[in-house]
Structure 1
Amino acid sequence: MTSDSALPQYEHYIDGRPTPPADGGYFPTDNPWDGKTWAMVARGNAKDVDLAVMAAHRAFEVGPWSTMTPSERGRLMWKAADLIASKAERLALIEQRDNGKLITEVVAQVRYMADYLKYYAGLADKIQSAVIPTDKKGVFAYTRYEAKGVIAIITPWNSPLTLTSWKLAPALAAGCTVVVKPSEFTSASMVELAAIFTEAGFPPGVINVVTGFGPEVGQPLVEHRKVEHIGFTGGSVAGKRIYELAASHFKTVTLELGGKSPNIVFDDADLDQAVKGVVSGIFAATGQSCQAGSRLLLQRSIHDVFIEKLLAFMKDVRLGDPSDPQTQIGPVATRPQFEKILSYIEIAKAEGAECVLGGRSRPDLGAGQFIEPTIFVKVRNEMRIAQEEVFGPVLAVIPFDDEEDAIRIGNDVAYGLAGAVWTRDLKRAMLMTDRLKAGTLWVNNYRATSFTSPFGGYKESGIGRESGIDAIKEYLHTKCVWMSSDLEVPNPFIRR
């Protein structure tokens, strides 16, 4: 328990109400801008996880949620979306205080989260099965989709509310109940969000939140016998561990993991527009985005002029207080991530890459958890700076000769989350999007996403898809029913 009674205190949210931690422990959550502790958060363990999962299980099996029609669930989701929209500024302020993201971006994300819920609210009563024409006489076969049950949602610190909504909305529309484990760095906004769903009329147990650390909360949640599916967004190392644990219990997973996405600029592109796309791809959100375009592939003939334009665009960028609407780049969200980014900058220098912008921390800003936008040239694709996810404002620039060279370099990483192509040539754009191995590809734009379009990765960037119509199927079992119209059962020793 915090000794400072002036600090807000966040409990778990279980069975429709705030719930103190079973062992009475709390931990601090700090503001990346000023480095100060602003709240205390419940430190959960396996006891809290079991309490939350069993509440979700009851709500799924016998609670009011299980007897609601899909249309009734959709109306509740719509009501929750309206409440979220009305409280967007408050939710955004809490999230921004936890992770240092720009307030202008977080407010927009929370408002868009409401649209996300409304999209899936509209899909809740449109999950249609099919009658199957079979080759068997005297039987009638059809499919039905059934909610899997209790869903574990584990989300990271960079966009906690947005990335939770990507899983929460289709899970609720499918008829599932959920237990959310937010990042220990950004727990407060998720607890606040759960209370809004209760205010909207969601029955107790449908949405539960257990806060704490991975080994103490995340692992027991993944391994719990009543959890049927795990939706995770985060790093590939943690994703692999979750996949291993899930496999040992035959649970299904949706894993949205890391990226090392290529942003490919050809010599026929509109270079001024491409510069803005490159900046959006790597320096927006302080580079703390799984889909960041952290590898800039430049056709050799425009390499130097493009770098000049890029450096000119970045010379007046504003670093500072993320609550100031004029700020363009805020602090790194966590101290461990801050130190990791700085270590990668030193690795890049040691491997022979040349730093032409940034490369330093800014101890003069806020609590000092700032890193200047950093650009490296003379990068070879085999360097660690080009192969490993830095998750910060660090751009690796790699020259290429032609389409085949760009495709080879673009695909030559363990990841396959996203990528972009900048060209005026439609044939070239089609060739590149056909052959680049990534779940999302943009042409002459970067970082656009929508609740209507699927998102996910190839290779080590994950399993399954989020968003769009098909995402709802991640939370459904498919059942096939065979009904006989024969009056007599055929020979029981011969398979029909």
Structure 2
Amino acid sequence: MTYSIDHLFVDGRWVSPDTSERLPVVNPATEEVFAWAPSASVRDTAAAVEAARRAFDEGPWRRTTPRERSRYLLRLADAMERRRDDLVDLAVKEGGFPVAAAGVVHVQTPIDLLRDVADRLLPAFSFTVPLGPHTGMTLTGQPQTTQGVVAHEAIGVAALITPFNAPIAGAIHKMAWALAAGCTVVVKPSPYTPLEVLALGEFVEEAGFPPGVVNIITGGLDASVELTTHPGVDIVSFTGSDAVGRRVMAQAAGGLKKVVLELGGKSANIIFADADLDRAALEVVGNMVANCGQGCLLLTRTLVEKSVHDELVAKVLALMPAVKVGDPADPTTTMGPLIRDEERLRVEGMIRQGVAEGAQIGWGGDRPSGLDRGFYLEPTLLVDVDNAMSVARREVFGPVGSVIPFRDDADAVRIANDSDFGLNAGVFTQDFLRAKAVAGQIRSGMVNINSSFGVHPDAPFGGYKHSGLGREGGTYGIQEFLEQKAISWPVGKL
């Protein structure tokens, strides 16, 4: 695969950007610029929106049947599958993702999602739902029995703004739901990881989508603001931090656009004394090192019942030497680098602040020895953490976990809910009734019993509070991109 890409994908073709400005693409494992990508101007962004608008208003896409849209999604999945190795290689270089995770999480999972939406969800989705007969009074005071349907119609043009921590998966998750609903889309990736998403243009082209249905641009803040404020956009779906999510929401409010926000997390993992502590310890480590801690759904607050606190911490520390930090292209690597040096400096600052507030470093806290190049950081376990500390309240978005003791069920629920976020949660216990009761009290969009993340394809993905608005996943993802229209008529005569 050629790494440098000089064009944007707009209206079914590759077009030169309006500006000569380019985005450097840095390999976070080597700190070297290995490629360049175009940077869309405001004019380029507007052109992409206008192409999507024409394709929705005048083109065939909104009038395709669900079965026809399924065929396009399957062809897109097949095109990606044929270039799977190239996509994995690019994900390793651009995102710093360990190759084993890149192959499964970042490439194969979105391919499988496209096929699941096309083969299972879309053919069974009811875009027209009947309304049974109902007798009521008309505006003129006459009795009338009516019946009808509720038509679920594509909302229109969708602006999809995706994150650096899951470039391909983030883009495909949004594209799959929007395209299944019948929307046209403009996709904009993070400036850190533009190539993986731009590469999708090749597969969209190969799949034969009508011009303007899928448009892919890159760029910085100006392009994002144009997407969120352009009058031709009907819905904005954004994944990123809660701080940026607020700005997206404010920008979209001027045009009363619908927004779907998948934002940050500070998720709690509640571990009771009767839990399988070996399994729980493994999950604690996994939630620190997966994606180098750059994941909104990771369980970064470990809440442990006091009677087993020391035992659980000892088991976690016993696992840490097995975590191999290093070259993401090495199949034996467990954890790669952070995406940029400024992110590493930010995480290091949060660790120092946590220590200043009274937390103790149980493991890590430094840059790993022998890795002089690359934005590496040791996985860091903080103990003696109080939930009022900054490391327990702010999203770190790095390989840092905090351990917080609790007294009983009520205390665990109180601490778990004492957060601005509410995306994910875990409950570890061998008592299912207890787990279910606790899960019902946690204010988060997802709760997993004896696990960190449920993988059910029909489950909604999204959060409470500052973790966002709306849902992805299953039919919930399709519904976010639909409007509802009630059509009724008199029973027996017209």
TM range, smaller chain: over 0.9
Cα contact 1:221–1:227 (8 A) shared by 2 = yes
Shift of the alpha carbon at 1:8? Answer: 2.1
RMSD (CA atoms)? 1.6
Is 1:168 aligned with 2:175?
yes
1:67/1:142 CA distance change after superposition, 3 Å: closer
Cα contact 1:297–1:406 (8 A) shared by 2 = yes
Cα contact 2:62–2:154 (8 A) shared by 1 = no
Q: Which of 394, 397, 407 is equivalent to 1:391?
A: 397
Runs of 4+ that moved beyond 6 A: none
Is 1:58 aligned with 2:65?
no
Aligned residue number for residue 418 of structure 1: 424
Equivalent residues in 2 for 1:310-349, closer than 5 Å:
310-349=316-355
Secondary structure of 2:191's partner? coil
Shift of the alpha carbon at 1:335? Answer: 2.0
Cα contact 2:73–2:115 (8 A) shared by 1 = yes
Question: How far apart, CA to CA, are the structure 1 residues paired with 2:117 and 2:251?
Answer: 29
Secondary structure of 1:435's partner? coil
Aligned residue number for residue 285 of structure 1: 291
Secondary structure of 2:148's partner? strand
> Which deviations, in whole Å up to 9, do the C-alpha atoms of 1:268-316 show, x marking residues without a partner?
0111111111112222111110011111111111111111111011123
Secondary structure of 1:343's partner? helix
Aligned residue number for residue 102 of structure 1: 98
Is 1:222 aligned with 2:218?
no
Aligned residue type for 2:290: A
Aligned residue type for 2:466: E
Cα contact 1:12–1:211 (8 A) shared by 2 = yes
Question: How far apart, CA to CA, are the structure 2 residues paired with 1:200 and 1:131?
Answer: 34
Aligned residue type for 1:42: P
Cα contact 2:5–2:195 (8 A) shared by 1 = no
Question: How far apart, CA to CA, are the structure 2 residues paired with 1:368 and 1:126?
Answer: 47
Cα contact 1:415–1:461 (8 A) shared by 2 = yes
Secondary structure of 2:199's partner? helix
Aligned residue number for residue 41 of structure 1: 37
Report the TM-score when normalising by structure 1.
0.94
Q: Which of 188, 193, 202 is equivalent to 1:186?
A: 193
Cα contact 2:154–2:481 (8 A) shared by 1 = yes
Cα contact 1:16–1:207 (8 A) shared by 2 = yes
Aligned residue number for residue 31 of structure 1: 27
Cα contact 2:291–2:336 (8 A) shared by 1 = yes
> Which deviations, in whole Å up to 9, do the C-alpha atoms of 1:160-201 show, x marking residues without a partner?
111112211011111111001100000101111122011011
Aligned residue number for residue 132 of structure 1: 131
> Which deviations, in whole Å up to 9, do the C-alpha atoms of 1:189-243 show, x marking residues without a partner?
1111122011011111111111011x21101001011110011110000001111
Secondary structure of 2:322's partner? coil
Aligned residue number for residue 139 of structure 2: none
Secondary structure of 1:398's partner? strand
| Structure 1 unpaired stretches of 5+ | 1-5, 489-496
State the identity %. Answer: 38
Cα contact 1:46–1:217 (8 A) shared by 2 = yes
Shift of the alpha carbon at 1:436? Answer: 0.7
Secondary structure of 1:249's partner? coil
Cα contact 1:321–1:366 (8 A) shared by 2 = no
Question: How far apart, CA to CA, are the structure 1 residues paired with 2:89 and 2:255?
Answer: 39
Secondary structure of 1:315's partner? helix
Shift of the alpha carbon at 1:125? Answer: 3.9
Question: How far apart, CA to CA, are the structure 1 residues paired with 2:282 and 2:369?
Answer: 28
Shift of the alpha carbon at 1:408? Answer: 0.4
Aligned residue type for 1:62: E
Q: Which of 22, 28, 49 is equivalent to 2:18?
A: 22
Question: How far apart, CA to CA, are the structure 1 residues paired with 2:319 and 2:251?
Answer: 46
Shift of the alpha carbon at 1:7? Answer: 7.0
Question: How far apart, CA to CA, are the structure 2 residues paired with 1:228 and 1:96?
Answer: 34
Aligned residue number for residue 492 of structure 1: none
> Which deviations, in whole Å up to 9, do the C-alpha atoms of 1:82-104 show, x marking residues without a partner?
22122222112112211101111
